[in-house]
Chains A and B, each alone.
Chain A
Amino acid sequence: MNGESPDDFVHLHVRSGFSFGFGVARPEELVEAAARMGMSSLALTDRDGLYGIPRFLEAACKADILPIVGAQVSTAGGHVVLLAESMQGYRSLCRLITDYRTSSEDRRRPICPLGKILEHKEGLICLTGAVPFGLLPRLILTGQREEATRVLISLLEVFQDRLYVELTDDETATGRRSMGKVAAFARDASVPVVAAGDVAYLFPSDHRLHDVLVAAANLTALPGPEYRPTDRLHLRSGKEIRRLFEGYPDALENVADIARRCAGAVKLSGKVHMPAAILPSGKTAGKMLLELTLAGARRRYGRRAGDDPTAEELKSRLGRELRCIHALGFAPYFLIAHEAKEIAKSKGIPVTGRGSAANSLVSYCLGLSEPEPFSNRLLFERFLHEGRKDPPDVDLDFCSVRRDEVRFEMIHRYERRGVAEAATVQTMSLRGAVRVAARALGHPPQEIDTLSRQVPTRFHDRDRIYAGLSGWEESLAEPAMYGHPLQDTERYRLLLELSAGLAGRIKEGGTHSGGMVFGTAKHHLSELVPLEPSGTEGLLRCQYDKDDLERVGLPKLDLLGLRMHTALHKAGELASRRLGRRVDPYDLPPDDKKTYALIRTGRNAGMFQLESPGQMHLSQRLGPRRLADLVAQISLFRPGPVRGDLVTPYVKRRNGRESYEVILPELEEILRPTYGVLIFQEQALAVANAVAGFTLAEGDLLRRAMTKDRGPGAMRELRLEFMRRARENGVPAAKAEEVFSWMEGFSVYGFSAAHAASFAELAYASAYMRRHYPAEFFAAVLDSQPMGFYSPRLLLNEARRIGLSVLPPDVHLSGEGFTVEEDGSALRVGLRYCKGLSERAISSIVAGRRKKPFVSVADLYGRTGVEKDALENLIRGGFLDSLAGGSERSRLLDESAALPKKRRRRRQEEIPIEHPASWWAMRERRSVGHLPLTDTARERMEWEVLGLNVYRHPLVPYRDALRELGVVPSVRIRELPPGTYARAAGLIECLQSPPTKSGYRVYFLLIEDEWGLLQTTIFRSVYERCGDILHHEGAFLVEGRVEQTIEKGFAFLVHNIESLRDILFETRVPVPRVTSSPGAFLRAGRRSRKAG
C-alpha cells in the first residue's frame, strides 16, 4: 500500500452503521468509496460486534479490496481496536465478543474487562484506541500516566509485537495536541505507533447524521455524550491522511505492516459448517438418518407402496436423496430438525413444515413436511442437490404459544456446542427517522408524536423508495400529509433534511422470529459467530442475520411460531370438549365438499392464507374443488403472478372458458396440472430438463441464476448455454428462445409448489374447522390474536353475520378467553379482551368467583387482584352489568371512583371508608351520575375497552339514515349490473396499494358495513382528491361504479369519498383506530389480546 500510490492508505479503524448509533455508512458503501479512492485494503471495526463482516467481505471481494476484519472493543476506560491476522484471530474475536457481551450487566452497553482481552489474544493485533476516547489516550489525556503505563505494559506483555499505539487526529482544536501527547507517550514506552482515521461516516457532511445517531443511541438531545465538534471522522483520502501524519512517518509505515499481516486473512465463505447432531453411541449421522427415514417411509406409505408410487420408485428416490444428503454432509441437519419435531410431538405441540424442504421425500418420511412429494410433483432438486453451495433451510411451524417449549428444550440439549437465534437488522423508516431526528433536536415528546404522525412508515414502499429530499417532496405530496405540520418546510428544514438522511440507515439489531443456529463438532458456535444476549432470558442470538448466515455457511433451522396452529389446536380442543369426541384439525376428512363450497363463496375471514380480499375474490373466480386448486390459488395471489397477469388465463382455463396449447409437446406433461400456466418453481426445473436436457440440479442452478444474478452478461451466457443444449436436444431454436424468455420472466414471480402445498393443507384445515365448528373456530381465532388479515372486531362481526350469537361479557360467566355456549351457537367475550386486565387479575377473578359470586364493585375490588384502572375498564366493558343491571353502568363507575386507589392489605378487614369531607362530592355526583346510558354510549364504551362490537354492528343505529342516503348494502352491490352507480358506507378495515400489472398506483380500500365486507378500488386521481379523508377519518360514504367482467370479476371503482361523520351530522359514528402496518397504509387496530 504505502509508497505505491499517494491515494492508497489502509484505514484500520472504521465503524459502519453496524456500530448501531456510532457509525453511519453501510459496509458496502464504505468498500465502494474506498475502492473509488484507490485504496487497496480496508478494515471494518464495528463497536462490540462483527455484525457487518459477512457483507463487508462480500463487498470487498466484488470491489477487489482486501478486507481486514476487526472490532472496536469497549472497556470501562475506553475502547481498543482488535484486528484479526488469521482465522485463529477471527475465532478469538468471536469468543471474546461472546464472552464479554454475555457477561456484561447492560446488554446494550457491554463492557469488556481488560483481562478478557488478554485472555483472547491469539491471532489478534491490538491498537490502543483512537484519540481521545481510546483506552490509552483517555488515560494519558486525563493525566493518569501511571495507569496508562500499567495498561500498556499489560498489553505489551501479551500482544508483544502485535501491539500498536493508535494515533488519530480528528482535526478539532485540541486534536493535534492530544495526538502529540499520545505519540510522545508511545515514544517513551518504545511502543510502535500506527496512523488511523477513526472513520465513522463516509463524507464530512454526514457528521450531522452521526451526531444525531449518537444522541439517539443515548436517548438524549444533541449534543450526545462524548460529542466532538468535528466533521473529520469521514473516510479521508490517502493524501489527507499523509498530510496529517507527515510528522509521523513510522506511523504510516506501520499501517502498511499491519495491512500486510491482516488483509484478506479472514475468509468466511465457501464452506458449510454443518451442526453436530446428538447421536447414540456407535451410530453415525448417516446411519441414523437412514434408519429414521426407512421407518418413516414404512409409516407414511406402509401397504400403499406398490401402487403410486411403486416400491421401486420409492426406493430409488430415497436412495438418490440420501446419497445427496450424505455427499453434502447434511445428515446431522436433518436429524436436528427431526429432533425438534419429535420434541413437539412428544409434548403434543402442533408442528408442520413449510418451505422448499417439502420437496424432499426424506423430509416427508421424517415427518418434517406434510405434502406427499409424488402426488404433488415435488422435486428434491428444488430443495437440495450436489451443485448447491449454500446450506439447506428447513422451516418448522409450531403452535406460537408453545413454540418456546421446543426452542428451550433444543437449547438445553445443544448448549454444549453452542446454540443461538439468528439476528435481524432493522433499518429506519421515514417516520422512525422523523422521531429520531426530532428527539435529537430537542422537540418535546408530544410534538414528536404530532410531527411523525401520518408520515409514511416504510422507507421502501414496495417498488417505491422514499429517499433524499425528493423523497420528502414525494411524501409531503401524499394525501396522508395534507395539512401536516411538516408542510412548513422552512420551519422544519433541518428536521426534514436529517430525517431524509437517516431514512433507510441501520437502526438496531433484533432477534429473528425463530431461526436457530448450532455449533459444529469441530467448533463451538461462539467460534464461528459472536453471540450476545437476545433480551429474552436464556436465549442468545448470533450477530449475523439470515443472509449473513448463508454467506458464512451456517445452516439455520427455523422453529417458527404460527398462530394458525394455536387457533386450530384450540378450536379442536373446544370442539372435542363440546361434542365429547376427539376432533383433530390435523386429521380431517379430505376433499370435504361443504368446505370447498364455503371457500367458493369468498366469505373466508379467518381462513389461513385465503382470507385477504384478493384471495376471497380469487376463491369466487377460481372455484376451488380440491387441494391442488388451493395450492395453485395460494401461489397465484402473489405480487409476481398478479403483475404478470397469470391469474386471468389460469382462471379461464381452469373453468373451461379458454383452451390452451403448450408450445412444445415435451411440456404437455409438465404444464397440464396448471393448465399450461407456469406457476411453480419446480415446473421451471422440469421445463429446463425437458427442453434443453438440463439435469434437475442444473435446472435449479439456472433458476437461481435467473433470480439472483440477472446481469446482462450472466443472462446472455445462460441463454447461449440453454439454446445450445436445446439444439442438441432437437428443439427448434425459435421454440427454445421462446421457452427461455418465458422462464426468464417467470423467475421473477415463481413460487415453490412445496411451500404452497404445505400452506394449502393448513388452509384446508382452517376452512374445514370454520365450516363445521364455526363457534369454536372463531373463538379460537379471536383468542389467538394478533393474527391474520382482519381485526378482532371484524372477525366477531363476521361470526355474528354467519349466525352465531355474541353473548355479552360477564364477570361470572366469561372465561379467560372466548367461550362457546348454547351448544355451539354462541360466543361469549372473554376476560382477556378487557383492556388493562393483567393475567394475575384474571386468575384472581376466576378463583374469587369460584368461592362465591361477587355482589358489588367493592366486593370484586376487595377479593381480587384487579387494579383500580382495570376495574373501571371491567365496568365500561360491561363485565359487571349483571351486578347492577344494564342501564346502571354509570352507578358502578361512581362506586368504583369512590374506592381507594391503594388496595387494602391482607390484614385489613374492609376497604377504608372515604373521608367524610368527600360526602358532599359523592352526593353531588349521585344527583347527575345515574342517568341510564344510551345504547350507543354503552356500545362506544365497550368498543373502547374491548375493541369489539359486542351488541351489534356500529352502523345498525344509522340504518334508516343510510337507506335514505341511497346507500346499498355491500352484499347487494355485488349483484348490481355492471355500469351501475352506487353508494356504499362502511368502517375502514384496511387501505392498501399493492403492485399492479400496469405499474400505476391503485389503492384498495376495504370497508365493512352491517352486511359484510366490500373491497373498493380507488385510482390515483380520486386518491389525490379524497385520500386525506381516508387517513383522518374511519367511516366513509363511497360513491362509485360497479364493474363486472368474466376475466376480472367484480370491482367497485370509487369516484368520491366522504366522511360518514360529516354526512350524518349531529351523530357520532364510532370509528376504528387505524395504524400503518407492513403491507398496508392503514389497518384497523389489532392490539395484542394478551392480558396486561
Chain B
Amino acid sequence: MEASVSEIHSYPLRPEGFEEPLFSTRESRLTVLDHLLRSPWLSRASEMEGRGGQAAHARREPVELENRHGRVRIVWASGRRRCRKRRHVVEVLGRWREVRAWWDEERAKDRSLARLLLSDDSVVDLARENDGEWFLVGVTD
C-alpha cells in the first residue's frame, strides 16, 4: 500500500497525551514475541550468569502454584513492599532442563524450567528445583 505525503498530512493528529499501542492486537504481539524468542542474539534472563547489569530480569523469587478449579495460577511476593501478585497461567510456552556446573557446589544448578504466558500477558520463567520448590527465575517481557 502506498500513500502520498498529502494523504499522510491529511490524516487527523492523535489527541494530546495519546500513547500509540506497541501492538495493535494480541496476535501481533505474539508474532513479535515469537520472532524475538527465535532470535539468536537474544538471551534469556534465566540463562544469564549473575544478577546485575544485563541480567536485570533474572530473579530467584519463591513462587506458589495454586490449582483453582482446573486453572493454574502463580502467586508471588514482589517489589519492595513484597506485595503478593496472582496471575493465571494462560499457556506453557516451553519446558527445559538446566543441569549446569554440577561439579561446583556454588555454581551448580539442577532444575526443570517452564516458560509461561500469564494472564497479564507477561512471559515468565519458572524453575522447579530438586526439592520440589518453584521459583520465578526470569521475566522475559
User: Which residues of A approach B to under 8 Å, CB–CB?
Assistant: 141, 143, 171-173, 175-177, 180-181, 207-208, 211, 222-223, 229-232, 440-442, 494
Contact = CB atoms under 8 A, between A and B. Distances in A.
A222 B103 contact: yes
A232 B103 contact: no
A172 B97 contact: yes
Given A173-B46, A222-B103, A441-B103, A229 B38 contact: no
Contact of A230 (B40, B46, B99, B101): B99
Given A440-B103, A494-B103, A177 B95 contact: no
Given A172-B98, A173-B96, A223-B101, 8 more contacts: A173-B46, A176-B94, A177-B37, A177-B38, A229-B99, A229-B109, A230-B99, A442-B103
Residue of B40, B47, B110 contacting most chain A CB atoms (<10 Å): B40
Contacts of B100: 229
A171 B37 contact: no
A496 to B, nearest CB: 14
A1064 B113 CA distance: 67
A181 B38 contact: yes
Contacts of A180: 38
B95 A171 contact: yes
Using C-beta atoms within 8 Å of the partner chain, give the interface range for chain B.
10 to 19
A229 B101 CA distance: 8
Given A180-B38, A181-B38, A175 B96 contact: yes
Interchain residue pairs A-B with the least CB separation, the first 4: A229-B100, A231-B99, A171-B97, A222-B103
Interface in B56-82: none
B85 interface: no
Contacts of B99: 207, 229-231
Nearest to B110: A231
26 contacts: A141-B40, A171-B95, A171-B96, A171-B97, A172-B96, A173-B44, A173-B46, A173-B47, A173-B98, A175-B96, A176-B94, A176-B96, A177-B38, A181-B38, A208-B103, A211-B102, A222-B103, A223-B101, A229-B98, A229-B109, A230-B97, A230-B98, A231-B110, A232-B97, A441-B103, A442-B103
Nearest to A495: B103
A286 to B, nearest CB: 63
Nearest to A228: B99
A248 B99 CA distance: 26
Contacts of B47: 173
Contacts of B98: 172-173, 229-230
A230 B95 CA distance: 13
A1014 B110 CA distance: 58
Contact of A231 (B40, B95, B97): B97
A141 B39 CA distance: 11
Nearest to A207: B99
A153 B77 CA distance: 55
Interface string B98-141: 11111100000110010000000000000000000000000000
A141 B40 CA distance: 9
A223 B101 CA distance: 8
Contacts of A230: 97-99
A229 B100 CA distance: 5
Residue of B97, B103, B110 contacting most chain A CB atoms (<10 Å): B103
Nearest to A498: B103
Contacts of B102: 208, 211
Contacts of B94: 176
A909 to B, nearest CB: 60
A1079 B11 CA distance: 95
A208 B102 CA distance: 8
Nearest to A222: B103
Residue of A173, A180, A232, A494 contacting most chain B CB atoms (<10 Å): A173
B109 to A, nearest CB: 8
Nearest to A441: B103
Contacts of B103: 208, 211, 222, 440-442, 494
Nearest to B39: A177
Contacts of A222: 103
A410 B57 CA distance: 70
Contacts of A176: 94, 96
Nearest to A169: B96
A171 to B, nearest CB: 5
A357 to B, nearest CB: 52
Nearest to A244: B95
A181 B35 CA distance: 12
Contacts of A223: 101
B40 to A, nearest CB: 8
A224 to B, nearest CB: 11
Nearest to B95: A171
Nearest to B37: A177
Nearest to A494: B103
Nearest to B112: A171
Contacts of B37: 177
B55 to A, nearest CB: 14
Residue of B44, B94, B95, B96 contacting most chain A CB atoms (<10 Å): B96
B102 to A, nearest CB: 6
Residue of B37, B38, B102 contacting most chain A CB atoms (<10 Å): B102
Residue of B100, B101, B110 contacting most chain A CB atoms (<10 Å): B100
Contacts of B46: 173
Interface string B24-42: 0000000000000110100
A180 B39 CA distance: 12
Contacts of A177: 37-38
Given A207-B99, A230-B97, A173 B113 contact: yes
B60 to A, nearest CB: 16
Nearest to A142: B40
Contacts of A171: 95-97
A442 B107 CA distance: 15
A442 B46 CA distance: 27
Contacts of A440: 103
